[in-house]
Amino acid sequence: MTPFAVFEPGGDAATALYIVSFSLFIIGIKQGTHPTSAKRGNLIAAVGMAVAVVTTLLLDGMGNWGILFGALAVGSAIGVIASLRVQMTEMPQMVALYNGVGGGAVALIAWSEIRHGISLGDEIPLDELIPILFAAVVGSVSFWGSNIAFAKLQDLIPTRPLAAPGQQVINALLVIGIIAACTITAINNDHPSEGLFIAILLASGLLGNLVVLPIGGADMPVVISLLNAFTGLSAAAAGFALDNVALIVAGTLVGSSGTILTMEMATAMNRSVGNILFSGFGGAPAGGGGTGEERPHTSIGAQDAAIKLAYADSVVIVPGYGLAVAQAQHAIKEVADELEKRGVTVNYAIHPVAGRMPGHMNVLLAEADVPYEQLREMEEINPEMPRTDVAVVVGANDVTNPAAKNDPDSPIAGMPIIEVDQAQQVIVIKRSLSPGFAGIDNDLFYEPNTSMLFADAKQAAADIASEIGNL
Amino acid sequence: MDLITELTIFVLAAFVGFEVISKVPTTLHTPLMSQTNAIHGIVMLGGLIVIGFADDGLEYVIGAIAIAFGAINIVGGFMVTDRMLGMFSRKPKPKAEAASTDGKGGA
C-alpha cells in the first residue's frame, strides 16, 4: 500500500523509536534548565521530535500522502516565517499562539477519533472514549483561551479585565453542561452522538473565551503557562486514545513541567492561580485611583536627568515592558556605557515578571549585549536600594508601586516589588502618568524624591546618553 | 498496551516532569516554556495517524488542519526557542570589561 511502510503500528520497533524520542525530550528539557546547555537542549528535543515524526510516517498502512505532506508543508512554512519575523518583544503572544494551535490540533484529533469510532459502528471502549472527551474539552479550552491571550497581548482587544455580569454563574453552568454532555456520551458509548460531541467542543471553546476574557493583561503570562500545561495534558489524553506512548510521555512531561512553571510565576506575583482565574485584577480599579484628581509631581528634562546620573556613584536601572515596546534596550545600554566610562556602577534590577513573562526582560537585554553579570534579581538588589544614588525606572510601572507594600487595600497588595522608593533619587521615564497593566495609580510618581521624565523611552535614553557625553 | 501500563507510564512521566524542571533560573523560564510548548506539538503524530488512515471527506479536512496546526506548533516553537536562546550565547565579547567594573562595584 505504501512505498515506505516499515513499522507495524504499535509494534516493538516503532515503540522503541518512540522511547528514543521521549528520552531525547527529557534530556532536552533537563538541559534547558541550565544557561550553558539550554540551546543544545532545545536542539536535542527537536531531534527527538524528528525521530517521532519519521517513525510515524513509516508506520505500515499509512496513506493519503498528498494531503499529509501538503498540510505538513503549509504548517511548517507558517511556523518558519512566523518565528523569523516575530520581534523579541512579541515573544509572549507568539508562544500563546503556538500553544493555541497545539490545543486546536488536539481537539480536532479527538473529533476525528470519535467520528472514526462512530463510523465503525462498534461500541467505543471507555478507556478510549473518556480520553477522547478529555482531549476534546481541554484542547478546545486551550485553543480559544490562547487566542484570547494572544489578542490581549497584541492589543487586538482591551487588556483590561472584561467581564459580563453573572460571569461566574455562566461559567459554572457551562462546566456543568459540558460534564453532563460528556457523561451522556460515555453512557451511550455504543452509539455516541456526533452532534452532541460538536456541542461539547463549542461549549468548551466558549468556556475558554469566558475564562480568559476577564483576566487582566498583567496576569496573562500565568494564563499562557497554565494553558501550555493544559495542552500538554490533552496531548497525553490523545495518546491514551491512540495508544501512542510518545504522546503520553511527551504530553505528560509538558503537563507537569508547565504546572510547576505556572506556580512559580504566580508566586512571583504573590497571587494564587485560582485567584487569577476567578477574579479579574482590580474589580473596582477606579475607586482607589482618585479619579480625575491631579496630584503634584516633579517633572525634569533629559539634561537634568543626565546630570543626576553622571554625578552618582551607583545607578540601578529598572527596565519594564515599556522599554521593550519602545525598543529602547540598545539606547539604555548606551546610557550605561557612558556612565561606566565615568566610573559609575550600573546594575539592572530585573523583576521576576518584568516584561510579560518571567525571563522575558533578560532575553531583551541580552539582545542589547548587556552583560549577564549586571542583571540582578529582585531579592538581590532590594537590600542595596537604600545605598543606591539614582534608580532609573524605564517603562516599568506596577512592579515599582510602593502601594504593594504600604496599602493593604490595593489590588496589588503583597506583590513583591523592586523598592526603588528606597533609593536616594528616582527618575521615571514614561510617556505619561497613566496607570500600568494592573490599571491602578502608582504612588511612586508623586513621591518627593521622584522626578518624572515624560518621553518615549528610546528617545529619552538616547538624549540622556548624548547629554552625559557632553558633560 | 493495556490501560494499567499506560497509567503507569503517565504517572512516572509526571514525576519525571516535576523532577527535571525544578530550580530553573528565572532567566530561562520563557525559553523553557517555549521549548515545552514545542514539545506538546507532538500531538501532530495523532494528526498524521488520522489522515494516514482517513476514509471520509470531513476526516481529510480535520486531519489536514490538525497536521498544519501541529506543524506550526512544532516548527515555530523550536525555532523561536532557538532564537531566544541565541540572545544569551553572544555574551563572551563584553564580558571581560564588564567583569572588572562589576568586581570594583561589588567590593
Each residue's pLDDT tens digit, A304-330: 899 999 999 999 999 987 787 778 888
With a cut of 50, say whether residue A276 has pLDDT above it.
Answer: yes
With a cut of 60, say whether residue B102 has pLDDT above it.
Answer: no
* DSSP-derived secondary structure for B42-85: GGHHHHHHHHHT--SHHHHHHHHHHHHHHHIIIIIHHHHHHHHH
Residue B55 maps to a domain: yes
Residue B101 maps to a domain: no
A371 contacts in B (CB within 8 Å)?
91, 94-95, 98-99, 102
Residue B1 maps to a domain: no
- A71-76 mean pLDDT: 96
Residue B67 maps to a domain: yes
With a cut of 60, say whether residue A55 has pLDDT above it.
Answer: yes
Residue-level pLDDT at A6: 76
Please check whether residue A171 touches B, CB under 8 A. no
Say which CATH architecture domain A295-470 belongs to.
3-Layer(aba) Sandwich (3.40)
Q: Could you tell me the residue ranges of all domains in chain A?
A: 86-278, 295-470
Cell 533560573 identifies what position?
B25
pTM: 0.80
* Residue A389 is a catalytic residue: no
Instruction: Pick the catalytic residue from A219, A398, A456, A463.
Output: A398
Please check whether residue A431 touches B, CB under 8 A. no
pLDDT in tens, A368-391: 888 878 888 888 899 999 999 999
pLDDT in tens, A421-469: 899 999 999 887 777 666 678 888 888 889 999 888 888 999 999 999 8
Is the CB of A373 less than 8 angstroms away from the CB of B21?
no
Residue-level pLDDT at A325: 75
Residue B49 maps to a domain: yes
Could you give the number of structural domains in chain B? 1
- A97-122 mean pLDDT: 93
| Encoded amino acid at B27, one letter | T
Is the CB of B46 less than 8 angstroms away from the CB of A242?
yes
Is the CB of A38 less than 8 angstroms away from the CB of B53?
no
Dist. CA A328–CA B65, nearest whole Å = 39
Mean pLDDT across chain B, nearest whole number? 81
Residue B56 maps to a domain: yes
Where are the strands (E) in A196-344, listed by range?
A: 298-299, 314-319
C-alpha dihedral (A219, A221, A226, A228), degrees to nearest 10: 150
Residues contacting residue A448 through CB under 8 Å, at least 6 positions apart: A298
**Domain range enclosing B56:** 42-85
Is the CB of A340 less than 8 angstroms away from the CB of B101?
yes
Secondary-structure percent of chain B, ordered helix, strand, coil, rounded to 5: 85, 0, 15
Please check whether residue A232 touches B, CB under 8 A. yes
Q: Give residue A281's pLDDT band: very low, low, confident or very high (50, 70, 90).
A: very low
Dist. CA A409–CA B53, nearest whole Å = 59
Nearest alpha-carbon partner for A329 in A358, A367, A303: A367
Q: Give residue A356's pLDDT band: very low, low, confident or very high (50, 70, 90).
A: low
Q: Is A269 helix (H, G, I), strand (E, B) or coil?
A: coil
What radius of gyration, in Å, describes the C-alpha atoms of chain A? 26
Is the CB of A46 less than 8 angstroms away from the CB of B65?
no
pLDDT in tens, A11-46: 889 999 999 999 999 999 999 888 888 999 999 999
State ipTM. 0.84
Residue B14 maps to a domain: no
With a cut of 80, say whether residue A179 has pLDDT above it.
Answer: yes
pLDDT in tens, A201-213: 999 999 999 999 8
Residue B32 maps to a domain: no
Nearest alpha-carbon partner for A220 in A165, A269, A169: A269
Pairing between strand A390-394 and A425-430? parallel
**Which residue has better confidence, B81 or B102?**
B81
